[in-house]
Amino acid sequence: MSTYVITPAVRQKIEDHGLSVDEVEAVLAAPEQRVPGHAGRIVLQSRVGRFLIRVVVEQDRNPPEVVTAYRTSNVAKYWQVEDAD
């Protein structure tokens, strides 16, 4: 995702979750996965070490707006494994 907005309040929330804006922007630039979120949102996510960074984006805005981002160690809960047919 090349164009997006991260408001000052969301920047603070990102930092409160122990992430840097640079880490979030790296996921936005090249996510490993795009999964559907709630209410039409999209979640961009990438594995970093033993963690998963998830960035929730409100995609119906122009430009799209980052709602929140966080790091989780519960990768198995969120990682979408594709079925091998």
Query: How would residue 2 be classed by pLDDT, with cut points 50, 70 and 90?
Result: confident
pLDDT value of position 55: 97
Given this model, what pLDDT does residue 22 score?
Answer: 95
Question: What's the pLDDT at 1?
Answer: 72
pTM score, whole prediction: 0.90
pLDDT per position as a tens digit, 12-51: 999 999 999 999 999 999 999 999 999 889 999 999 999 9
pLDDT greater at residue 84 or residue 75: 75
Contacts of 17 (CB under 8 A, 6+ apart): 68, 69, 70, 71
